[in-house]
Structure formats: C-alpha cells, structure tokens
Structure 1
Amino acid sequence: MPLDEGLTLELTETVRRVVEERLIPAEEQTVAEDKVPDEIRALLRDLGLFGISVPESYGGLGLPLEAETRLMFELCRASVAFRSILGTNNGIGSQGIVIDGTEAQKRHYLPRIASGELIASFCLTEPDSGSDAASLRSVARTDGDDFLISGTKRYITNAPEAGLFTVMARSEPDQPGAKGISAFLVEAETPGITVGPWDRKMGQRGAHTADITFDEVRVPATAIIGGPERRGQGFKTAMKVLDRGRVHLAAVCVGAAQRLLDEALSYAMDRRQFGQEIAQFQLIQAMLADSQAEIYAARCMTIDAARRIDAGEKIPMLASCCKMFASEMVGRVADRAVQIHGGAGYMADYPVERLYRDARLFRIYEGTTQIQQLVIARALISEASEAIGR
C-alpha cells in the first residue's frame, strides 16, 4: 500500500522546505563543480526520494503517480540536476523491473535502487539511433547459455554514477525493428563495459550523461528483464513505462517553470524604470500573466493524466499531450523570464540565464516534441478510423 494522504502531504511540505533551505542555496556549487554535492545526495536519499515509485514491499515509498507529480512540482523549483540524480531510479531504471521483472530480479535490485545505494540507468539511445529507437544496432548474440552484448550507447543519463544498466540490444537478428530487442540488466562492474567522460552540455550542469561502450559483455539469459521467456520483448517493456515517464517529466517542467516565473516576478517588483517598478508596466504584466496561465494549464493536465494512470487507464496520447505541452510551455516561460530581466537576464549573475539553458533540453529528451506530435496525431487518426469503421 502507498503512503497515506497525510504522510504524502507531509513529505511534500518537507521537500518544499528542503528546496528553499538546502537545494536552491546549493545550486551555484553544483554548477561550479558540475556535480551534485555529496551531502545533497545523502539528504535526498534520507528523504526516500530515490524510491518514490518503487513499491513499499521492496523498500520504496510506493507513491501513486499523482503524489509523485506533486513532489516534482516542488523539487524541480530547484535546479533540475537534483531531480536528475534520482530520476532514472524512479523511471525506467526501476519501472521496467517493477512491471516485467521476475521476483528474483525485484528482490535483488529494487531495495538497493529505492535506498539510493544503487543508481540504475537506461541504455537505449545510440550514435545512429535516437528518435528511431527501434533501429538500434547493439547486439546480444548467444554463446552457450549466455549472451555477449556489443555496441555503443549515447547520452546515457547518470552513466558515470550507475551501478546497473538496463541495456536494450538486438537478440533476434532475423526480426526487424522492435520485435527482436531484449532488455538486459547489466551490472556496471561487468567486464567489457567502458563509460566515457561526462558530456559537455549547454545546460543542466551536475546532471551527467556519457557514452557507454559494451565490448562482448557476457551476461546470463536470466539477466533479461522477465527472464529468458521474455527474450525479444524488451522494447515492449520500455513502451509500458513511457506513459508514466512522460507525465513525470511534464511535472518536472511545471516545477522548473514555476521557479522561472518566481524569479521573473521578483525581479519585476524590484527593478525600477521611469520612476516605478517595471511590474506596473502592462507589457510586463502580460508576460507574467501568460506564464501563470500556461503553468496552471500544464499543472492541471499533469494531475489529470496522473490520476487516470493511477486509476488503471492506458493513456499514451494524453501522456504525450502532457509532455509536449509542458516542455514547450517551460521554454516559453524561460524566454519571457529572460526578457523581463532585460540585459540582466543574459548575465550569469542572475539564475534565469542558467535556468533558460537548463529548460531547453526538455523539448528533446524522452521523446522530442515532434515525436509527441506523431503519437498524438496517429492516435487521433486511429480513433477516428475505428469510429467510422475503416
């Protein structure tokens, strides 16, 4: 059973306080060192945030998605680097095991994932395989009772810190597209794995991504999520967790947008021009109002979608709507926040310069806006075709 409503509310209030008192003050150190401070990692572990979505029976908080999104609204008012260090543990790093893993896999990995002892990372994207994920080239060839995995994965979140990789590799070379892909649980210390240096990114310093090379990495057939009987079903496992992941990311965007609006409003009420606060100028007010309305809309969409998923509905189209709208929304809010700051917004002395760069990634990862548009449009066309009997 998940935490009761009172405890969930208490945790949300605690996260809000931690954001104000500990995380926002630690942002500059995180940026300067390109690393989340160890004491902040320990704090987030102690709060149980590495196991938000892991069932209580395996040591996690077992929160429903609605409660998880409300936590993200608060947590992501601080630098999204803090969310990123625990994001893969709560997303596809654990949810693939939760949904399709064997009982042995769940008992072996989930308690350590939930405690933050083990960082789980997801390896899908490759140098020549991004949005077209089903075209991946990493292979897992049989060798007796084992598999030998070879290939390169790119932009893998938390790769430098991870102790466990979920690796998508083509185990059925005669089956095209997604049909021949298996999901393997591969521990980072397995011989043949090389993690490259941290990527140099536009923003989100402190949140690490890197390339990973697998060179004849030997794993048993029992390393397939769900066991050998789920060989070739890995892509289906990934698709099962996408709805939850997209709604989670929409909540991340809402939190980041709220911080941007808070910064813009504070600056507008302090900055004086022409003898008055610039917040009194109607064109500034218009940008503030547009931002507030869009944040409210994204927040409502996200909560509605989360409630539907918690109720057992399958909502791939609505999840894509949330991710698309919220990620585009935070980009617009970030642009307005810089504009309200004027020249100061372009200077690193003010948080909005960094927050603007951080926000740009949301429209790209975990499914670009264009991919979300395709998902939404194809679902609409499919529903309409069924309705008219085509």
Structure 2
Amino acid sequence: MTGSVWSLLLVAVLVALTYKRAPLKMSAISLGIFAVVAFVGGAATTIAVIAALVAIACGVLSLESFRANTITRPIFSLYKKILPKMSETEKTALEAGTVWWDGELFSGKPDWHTLLDHPNPSIPPEEQAFIDNQLATLCSMLNEWETAQNGDLSKEIWDYIKKERFLSMIIPKSYGGLGFSAQTQSHILQALTVSGAAFTSVGVPNSLGPGELLLKYGTQEQKDHYLPRLADGREIPCFGLTGPRAGSDATSLPDTGVVCKGMWEGKEVLGLKMNFEKRYITLAPVATVVGLAFRMFDPEGLIGDKKDIGITVALLPRHLEGMDIGNRHKPVGSPFMNGPIFGKDVFIPLDFIIGGAANAGQGWRMLVECLSVGRCITLPSSGAGGGKYAIAASGAYARIRRQFNVPISKLEGVQEMLARIAGNTYTASAGARVTAIAIDEGHKPSVPSAILKYNLTEIARDIANDSMDIHGGKAIIRGPKNYVESGYSSVPVAITVEGANILTRSMITFGQGMIRCHPFVLPEMHAAQQNDLKAFDKALFGHFGFIFSNFSRSAVLNLTNAAFTSVPVTGPTKKYYKQINRYAASFAVMVDMCAFSLGGELKFRELISARLADMLSKMYLASMVLKHWEDQGAHKADLPLVEYSCQKLFSEFETAQDGLIKNLPSRPVAAILRVLTMPLGRVAKAPSDKLVAKIVDLVTSHNETRERLIAGTYRGETISNGYAETLRNPLAVYDGLLDRVEQADVIYKKIGTALKADKYDEATLSIEGRITDGVKMGILTADEGEFMLAFEKDVLDMVHVDHFPLEHFGPVAENQDTPKKAATTRKKKADASEPEAV
C-alpha cells in the first residue's frame, strides 16, 4: 500500500477511536498494534512512528496518578486562579432542579432510550372526570367580553373556582386540595386559555406562590393552618417578588426585614420590621395572604452572628398594620387582578417566615427550586392551549370564509399562516405534555423550564399574529363576536412575567445549561472549589476526551449527513433522530470552542449565548415532537405535522448555528467550527409548499388528526353573554359548519357553473339571492336551497363583527355633529317655527 493509504488508515483509526470514545488504554493498545502492522506492512517509517508516539502518549496518560501529579497539577493551580468566584445566589440557581433530556443533548451523543423509554401515562380517571365536568362547566361560564367590560371575572365564576378548588391543584388531598398531576394541571390550564383572566387567576396560585412554598418548606403548623384554607378558597394567595428596582434581576431586592423586638397580640416577641414596595403582583388586590420575598438583616445580632442574612420569604396576612394592598394595575389584554403592595414599618413575628426562623436566608433557594417546576407548566400551557384554540378557530374560519369565489384556505398566502399555526401548536403541545410527564416522574427540569417558557410564549406570539392576519377585519373590531383579540393582546403578559424573554433566552437557558448540563464543567468547578486534584484530573481528562470525540463525531456526521449514525427507531421519523444526533455533536463542539475562545467573556456575550440557547431549544423541542408522535400512537396521518415541526425547527437550528459562526470574535476558531459543523453549508430545508398544503387539508376539515391536535379545547354549545342574549362558543359553531361545508361545496359549484353560463340576472349579487333564484330556475333543488340559506346564515353570523350604539363607549363630544344630534336639532327648529307658521 502507498504512504497515502497508510496515512488515511491512521486517520481512520484515530477518528474511530475518538468517535467511539474509546478509553485511553484501549486507544494505546489499538494504536500500538497499528504501528506494528504498519511497520511490518512496509508503511513509511513516519506513519509507524507517529502511531507509536500517539500510542505511547495514550498509555502514559492512562496512568492516572502520574498524569495528575505531572500534567494536571499545574493546570489545576492556574484553573483555581482564573475560576470566577460564584455568588451564593448563582450557586443556588445552578444547583436547582435536575438534569434530564437536556443533559443528553449537551453530551453530543444523546441516548434516545432515556427519552423513548420515558413513561406515557394517561390522565387518571378521577382527574379526567374533573376535566369532563367541573372544567367544562367553568369554561361554559367564561366570557371574555363580559370580563373586559366588568374588569374582572364575575362573582359567580369566582365562587365556582373556589368551590371546586381550582386554586388548589398542587395542594395534596390530605389538606383538602385536588392533588392533580402536572399533566392534568397543564391540560386544565390549556383549556382555560379561552379566558386570559381565568387562566391567570387559576395558574398563578398553582405555580410559584405560597401554596407550593408551604408544601415544600413550611412548618407543620403553617401547613395545617394555611393549606386547607388555600384549598377551599377561604384564603386567596399572591406572591410579591418584583418591584420597581428588582424585575428580572430579582436578587437585587431593596425590600428589607430587620430583626427586632415588637408587640404581637399583646406580647413582646422577636420579629421583623419590614419596608417594601412591590408591583406586578397577580391577585394582590383580592389576596388575603401575601407571600413576600425580602432581604433580611440582623444588625444587633439578635438571632446570630450574621448581619446580612440574605433573601427570605415570609407569609403576611392582609390585615397587617402598615401594609397597603388593594389598588390595581391595568394589564394589557384580559383584565386579571394585578396590583402593587406597599409596606411601611410592618412588624411580623419570626414565625411568619416560611419554614420558621430556621429558613431565614433560604428564600432564593426556595424560589428557584419552585420556579423550575412551575415555569414548566403554567406559561407553556398558555402557548399550547392558545395554539389549539387558534388553529381550531382559524382553520375552520378559513374553510368557511370565501373570497374570490373560493374558501380563503385555498389561497396560498393564508395556507402559509395556517400551516405555521398548526406546526407551532403541535410543537408547543408536544413540549408541554412530555415535559409535564417528566415532572410527574420526579424530574425538576430547570433548563427545560427556561426552554419552554421562552419558546412556547414566543410561539404564542407568532400564533396570535398569524390568527389576526387570517381573520383580518374581524379580528380588529372588539365585541362579543371577536374571539381572537383577547389572546393577541394577552400574549405580552406571558412573555414578560417570570423573567423577560430577552433574559430567559440570552442568559438563563444556555448560561445555566452549560454549567448544569455539560458532563464535565460542573465537576471541574466542584473539584476546584474543594481543592480535589484527583477529581479535577478525572474531570479534566474526561473533558479532553469529550472534546476530541465530538470533533470526530461532528466531522463524520456532518460530512455524511448523519447517514451512518444509529438510532433506536425505524420508519419515516428515523431521519429526524439522525439529524438530532448530528446537531447534538455540532452543538457540543461549539459549546466547548466558544468557551475556549471567549473564556469568562462568554457570560457577557449575550448574542452568542442566545444563539447557543436557540440551538439547544430547537433540539429539545424537536425531540419532544418525536416522543409526542410516538406516545400518541405513531399515526401516519399525523406525519405532516411532525415533518413540518421538525423541518422548521431544524432550519431555525441552522440559522442560529450559522449566525454564531459568522459572529464569533475569534475568526480562526470560527473557521474550524465551519469546517467541523457545517462543511456542506446549510442542509436543512424549510417546509415545502406541498407540505403546507397537506397540513391545511388536515386542519380545515373534520378528521382524527385535527381532533388530536386540538384535544382539550372547550367546544361546548353556549356561553352566557350580557351584551347579546346568548353567544355561542365559536368552536362549537365551527364544528357544525365543518360538518356541512362539503355538502355546501357541491352547491357552491353548481351556482358557480350557472354563473359562468350566464344563467343569473346580473343584478343578483348576493349569495342568498343566487340561492333563491337558483331554486326558481331549477339549478338547485328546494332542499338544497333550504340547506344553503341556513348554512349561509350561520356563516354570515361568524363573519359579522359587532357594532354598538354611538353613545355605548361614553358621551359624544358636544361639537360632534352626529345623525342623532342633527335629527334632534331639526326637530327643535321645527317646533320653534310652528307658532310663526300658524
């Protein structure tokens, strides 16, 4: 063999060993054998020597004690010097939650069994009965127009919410709560997206708030007192975290609680004098108990030596002297209860701290641990539920709304938006459902919570925009008939709360993910903090092997377009699993190379971090889509939704990947990344027009795919309305129209054929006139005419927008010359002139 062949063989052996992540001893033996074979086989001496030297190096490096003392020790000393000091709040945030599928994606070589073997439980019968009965009843009572006019949910609705314990889904049955699974909570909240006020009022107490904090950290006395009262609605909770100077940067709380002695119920006790100002607090105006986060100080050393005790969380009854609560903010969208809370020299006993005095200073840990779970359920449910409602309404509306003598669902511009709503809804539903099940299985996925919060609320924004565009003028006129505007105007609330999306994307998702989920970064940091050379050596050389392995995996998978990587499935989705393997290897390389080239500066390069967060998010959501399809029975009919979702996510992954390489400050590193991760350029293609058309057919007619996509939306018959006598649920109306639309299409075609044949009088322009004349001329049968008149009446009712008396929205300006005023003026003039006329 020629020298070139031997060189290629050596490269192939090195690539194979690193690709398979072979241990150092195995690599040394394999390369030693290759060196001997090459030498005996007549290879150039250089090839054999190189193989032998690499074999010797691997052998030496496999001697852990020698390696640690000669190679690792000086690196360890340098690492400890440059390792930035981590604050307690940062450490707490990093340690919150658990690592799940996010860790597999960071590994560069995801083990698909971790996800595919994950359970797929159905909703328990008792919880399903609640969904079928109490939830359906609540949805039937909701009316966004009435809520908007009244500024709040009605007393009847509030009473029902309390009576049926909607506010206690997370509270165990032993305390009188519902004790529902995360999957059921998500299902209920998705259905309640029909009303932003109901969604928020139910969602917040079941997310971050006093209930969850008490459950996990409260004293037994606190649990016994508050949890039953929270469960049955005697107590309404709110939680005060953000303020004028502490929004997304919640650790910079200026609110204080100073340890002192004071009077409580006639006795002098040790407690806290508190001063605070909170805003954006959901349910504050109606809350009876306030969870409050503040900085706790003990300047006189009354409870210990530590003066600055740290962030603490306490429960404050509404009636406390010095606390001002009851004013309202006016959020955009649905008018849910939200307002400020002020406190001036408010005294509380130390017993009011959640968990008692022993939990003083533990507030930040308590908050981030609760937030990592709550953020996975409540806010993602708004995206998934809003998407289901939007595609159920928009798909049907586009099918029955005709322009240019065809349904607008046949117009390709509308089709593009319908498909995007459907694909986004499928993605959001998959992410919300599969991650909720992970929570039920005991995971506390902190990084996925950030992925879902950012991506699903942004998906909700895209869905709302597309829905508005499809509905056109109908969507911009407010009134009982407008079922689009409320969702559109409420989206910014979900995007802003629990940390603005800008922060969630650019700092939390990747910043926390890299340290928490990377297989070696956190062990290296822990080893340095504990001055453990042996542990550091193990992590460091594991990291080196990890990098070299991902170099090989990325190069091979990208050059072959993942053709030879193994995945545990067969069939039409196999190619998508392969692509995620390819992307995971590329992502792992880019993470380490960005960290290598930027060092500590990476923390402040928010646009670089944001693109890495996007890459991680797209892989995570695509994985959820594939798992969701399998869980639902791998229906072939649903494949267009899977294909659209994956293709869109993959295209977005490569957009972020390409953008990162173009903007990485170190151009040599960027060039290496281009060769390793995108040697063939951008491979992913956006969904085709043909695929778009397939999806539109699925979401604009009755079929099992559409039913699975919109499962859980409330489609009951009527909703009470104060403006009109009754307002039918638009989804129920659309279900009836879709039942009849194919029969109507046949009749539309008959009328169209007659029009082309000039059988109609040119003056007959309305569809109703053409139906009536068509029956007279024998173009249509009497039954067809009767059917079409009824059908068109229902269509027109759905297309119509509301109009109100001129004075409905307030008094008309005095100088406004309105028809009503003009008529009154004429009458007055006529009355005044009558005597002269006589």
Aligned counterpart, 1:334: 464
- Please give the residue correspondences for 1:48-67 in structure 2 after superposition, counting only pairs within 5 Å: 48-67=165-184
- Please give the residue correspondences for 1:225-264 in structure 2 after superposition, counting only pairs within 5 Å: 225-248=354-377, 249-264=379-394
Aligned counterpart, 2:405: 275
Q: Report if aligned partners of 2:147, 2:334 keep a CA contact under 8 Å in 1.
A: no
Query: Which is further off, 266-275 or 100-109?
Result: 266-275
Aligned counterpart, 1:167: 292
Query: Which is further off, 150-159 or 285-294?
Result: 285-294
Q: Determine if the alignment matches structure 1 residue 22 to structure 2 residue 141.
A: yes
Deviations along 1:285-343, one digit per CA (max 9) or x if unpaired, are 22112111111111111122212222222310011111111100110000000000112
Distance change >3 Å, CA 103–CA 4, structure 1 → 2: farther
Runs of 4+ with >6 A deviation: 173-177
What is the TM-score with the length of structure 2 in the denominator? 0.44
CA distance in 2: counterparts of 1:346 and 1:176, whole angstroms = 56
Equivalent of 1:192 in 322, 326, 338:
322
Q: Report if aligned partners of 1:12, 1:74 keep a CA contact under 8 Å in 2.
A: no
Q: Is the partner of 1:152 in helix, strand or coil?
A: strand
Q: Is the partner of 1:351 in helix, strand or coil?
A: coil
Aligned counterpart, 2:493: 361
Following superposition, the deviation at residue 196 of structure 1 comes to: 5.1
- Please give the residue correspondences for 1:1-390 in structure 2 after superposition, counting only pairs within 5 Å: 5-15=124-134, 17-18=136-137, 20-23=139-142, 26-76=143-193, 78-91=194-207, 92-144=209-261, 145-172=270-297, 180-195=310-325, 197-205=327-335, 207-248=336-377, 249-349=379-479, 350-373=482-505, 374-382=507-515, 383-384=517-518, 385-386=521-522, 389=540
Deviations along 1:82-101, one digit per CA (max 9) or x if unpaired, are 12223332222310111101
What is the TM-score with the length of structure 1 in the denominator? 0.93
Q: Report if aligned partners of 1:94, 1:113 keep a CA contact under 8 Å in 2.
A: yes
Q: Report if aligned partners of 2:382, 2:460 keep a CA contact under 8 Å in 1.
A: no
Distance change >3 Å, CA 311–CA 176, structure 1 → 2: farther
Q: Report if aligned partners of 2:292, 2:315 keep a CA contact under 8 Å in 1.
A: yes
Please, which runs of 5 or more residues in structure 2 have no aligned partner? 1-121, 262-269, 300-305, 524-538, 544-838
Q: Is the partner of 1:166 in helix, strand or coil?
A: strand
1:314 maps to amino acid = K
CA distance in 1: counterparts of 2:199 and 2:495, whole angstroms = 17
CA distance in 1: counterparts of 2:250 and 2:241, whole angstroms = 7
Q: Report if aligned partners of 2:454, 2:504 keep a CA contact under 8 Å in 1.
A: yes
Query: Which is further off, 193-202 or 318-327?
Result: 193-202
2:342 maps to amino acid = T
CA distance in 1: counterparts of 2:307 and 2:435, whole angstroms = 33
Please, which runs of 5 or more residues in structure 1 have no aligned partner? none
Deviations along 1:61-107, one digit per CA (max 9) or x if unpaired, are 1112122112212222x112012223332222310111101111111
Deviations along 1:127-168, one digit per CA (max 9) or x if unpaired, are 111000000101001112011111100111111100000111
CA distance in 2: counterparts of 1:298 and 1:100, whole angstroms = 32
Following superposition, the deviation at residue 246 of structure 1 comes to: 0.8
For these two proteins, the number of residue pairs brought into alignment is 383
2:125 maps to amino acid = G
Please identify which structure carries the higher strand content: 1
Q: Is the partner of 1:160 in helix, strand or coil?
A: helix
Q: Is the partner of 1:180 in helix, strand or coil?
A: strand
Following superposition, the deviation at residue 262 of structure 1 comes to: 2.6
Following superposition, the deviation at residue 56 of structure 1 comes to: 0.9
Percent of aligned positions with the same letter in both sequences?
26
Query: Which is further off, 340-349 or 92-101?
Result: 340-349
Following superposition, the deviation at residue 368 of structure 1 comes to: 1.8
Distance change >3 Å, CA 4–CA 75, structure 1 → 2: same
CA distance in 1: counterparts of 2:417 and 2:140, whole angstroms = 29
CA distance in 1: counterparts of 2:503 and 2:409, whole angstroms = 38
Q: Is the partner of 2:508 in helix, strand or coil?
A: helix
Following superposition, the deviation at residue 15 of structure 1 comes to: 4.8
CA distance in 2: counterparts of 1:304 and 1:4, whole angstroms = 13
Q: Which has the larger radius of gyration?
A: 2
CA distance in 2: counterparts of 1:187 and 1:316, whole angstroms = 31
1:357 maps to amino acid = S
Pairwise CA RMSD:
2.1
Q: Is the partner of 2:274 in helix, strand or coil?
A: strand
CA distance in 2: counterparts of 1:4 and 1:343, whole angstroms = 40
Query: Which is further off, 303-312 or 150-159?
Result: 303-312
Q: Report if aligned partners of 1:137, 1:170 keep a CA contact under 8 Å in 2.
A: yes
CA distance in 1: counterparts of 2:436 and 2:279, whole angstroms = 30
